[in-house]
Structure 1
């Protein structure tokens, strides 16, 4: 195994230091297209076969860097040929990759199948991402502690996620996708928790037992608030997003401590939804690092996410800062 040297601490007052640190997965995505998704046991002809950069962590870091964020990535790739594919957009985006380690063995792989209506199915093989345990994350303690915003997902080992969350001194964006068992105190550190409707129900189940499967999104949001989540975003695809924040009063259901705000979707023609949620999270991090409110950050993130689905791929579909976005 070879490893790069862990960077020193990041000074949030120094604009040359990363203000956003993403700890998570880095994959190569093998993408194919089909007219429709196959039934079990069925074989269909497809097209494509391109290898593109992916992984939820790398996607979110790339989305943030392409929107002008000062970003550092903490993760791992293998010592195979796919490592360069997996890092290609991150490398060109200007993100700091000095905390990306090289492990013996394969780079993480995602096999992505996209149908003609833009919907996708994804099978993920962890590869080097499985090495991102607590000990490996601890090598980047100073970088994480010095960040204004830390972003976490669910594609590295549980103890690595929990180590990064507990080492965060700035704002923590927790996007537990896929949802996995995490300690309650880690879930309650989220500011915000970013989940889709299905993930919101699973997180509520982790916090309160079997409680969320039959709830509407608004009721899920309020139940998560009651369970101790201070702020959250529930993404609803074509229906936009629900943003739960403290101390606001711009919603009829709000009280002195809590407000639930609906952010409408931006209507576009979807070509490929792969990585759209990660585009949302990465661009949300940029606006939060700049000091925007969570509602305003979510409105911007919705526009970036909408732009991403009009093109193929995950990172390769993400708009750059200054590019005209839909919904403006």
Structure 2
């Protein structure tokens, strides 16, 4: 594949951009933002958005940093980047003839980087292996794994980081030139954003609180359940969107929805909520908080990863966001 310096400059002619968005992550909202992130979109653009999920057969063979709760690796013989390449041949064929590929997540970008016929590749990143090791204390990340990721970053045309937190890691930990890394926000002013309406409620009215997260423990769902069982149930109706395996009918005043599509969450569930609670213990950007803000729902979250860097500067006027340090977040934050 050509080096980034050898790529032609964008033209004012209409360009065709291929957007790859992983379906097993909360990146659907980002899809609407990707078109604004690259210079190719200064002109009339013909875009294609293509979802992709890593084949299940590759999961048990793929090395994992144990970042997510549900990762089950039996024989970690493949790097995540290699697995995406092996599982995405159809996806790469669909990108043929486009002027640029924009990949949501680094592993998806790696699938195209390894293909010599691929057009210029841009990627969206909210975390790095170096940060997982340094900030999250994940101890199974080797220097060799970080080095593989460093080589990948240097081969990408441009990286769009979702916070200064990750941007600084890409530049300082990986040696990527500053002019090849930009910071974009997952929550920018957009026409679909609803104005926040301050809650007008009677003292006896129950609080409607949503928790949305597939990685139940990592997102803090277990903590929220314990708080609900302790005393929040006396004034909170808790609405939980997650995998059915975490369902616990013993928790009072808790409604379980199983797994919902992003359109159902944004269009039907969140507009009925008073607040989103996201007590995550390990997170990079908390895109679900952006999804709540789009429909005017305030959030309570933590200051792990890039969350505080993102939200202090990007939450729109009128959107009430409270971020609480992980060690002090408790059921009292909702009381």
TM above 0.5, one fold? Answer: no
TM-score by length of 2: 0.34
Task: Give me the TM-score of the superposition, normalised by structure 1.
Answer: 0.34
Q: Which has the higher contact order (CA 8 A, sep 6+)?
A: 1
Higher radius of gyration, 1 or 2:
2
